[in-house]
Amino acid sequence: MDWRACLWGEYRSRRRPAQFSWLGRGAWGPVPIPVLLAAAGFLALDVLLRGTILGRSWYLLGASPLAARAAGVRARRAVWAAYVAAGAFVGMAGLVLTSRVNSGQPNLFPLLPFEAIAACAIGGIPLSGGTGSPFQVLLGVLIIAAMENGLRLLNFASDVQLLFIGALTVGAVLLQTKWSRVVAGGRHVVERMSRSLRKAPLSVATRQGGR
């Protein structure tokens, strides 16, 4: 085997076990194995984010790294653990894709990182971090998949499909930015009203005492 074929070209292994094809093309009853793996990954990530201290520290680091450090979160260890978890999920996805196409390619599906970011934005997860759930990512994935299938049925070119996904992503980000500003403005108004209500009894009592 030429090492250059593994780095820059396509490599097909003839000594591939049968179980490896089952990982990407097999099924457990009517449900494909990749769907089961994706469902298990979503559930595991949801439990990790909501039910563990490490997951809550990720949320805190995404919202405010300074606040996370002030609260005693070990930022370096938490970030390292986040990269390890992301690498595990990406490695599993790479195994499934390699099993489906029956070959190892370094440039296999180069647009998947863009579609992953688009799925997060379309699902309602702010790119600034701090909030979100795996099920919001699942919603974004379903929206992108439905849109791509519809555009393919209408015989749109792949470039046009990317243009639609990009436009939808930009629209989602702009909508999130606008909504965050509205929420921040509403909180500011509520704080001002609460401060004025707190000062009102004091002013009334002062006037009565003066009389």
Contact (Cβ atoms closer than 8 angstroms) between residue 114 and residue 164: no
Q: What is the pLDDT of residue 109?
A: 77
| Cα separation values, 88 from 82, 100, 104, 113, 169, Å | 10, 19, 18, 15, 26
Using pLDDT thresholds of 50, 70 and 90, give the confidence band for residue 205.
very low
Kindly report the length of the chain: 211
Q: What is the pLDDT of residue 157?
A: 84
What value does the mean pLDDT take over residues 132-152?
89
Q: What is the pLDDT of residues 95-134, one digit of tens each?
A: 888 888 777 777 777 778 888 888 888 888 887 778 888 8
User: How does 144-158 read in b/e, with b if 16+ C-beta sit within 10 Å?
Assistant: beeebeebeeeeeee
Higher pLDDT, 132 or 9: 132
Q: What is the pLDDT of residues 71-96, one digit of tens each?
A: 888 888 999 999 999 999 988 888 88
Where are the chain's structural domains? 7-114, 125-211
The amino acid sitting at 96 is V
- What pTM, to 2 d.p., does this model score? 0.70
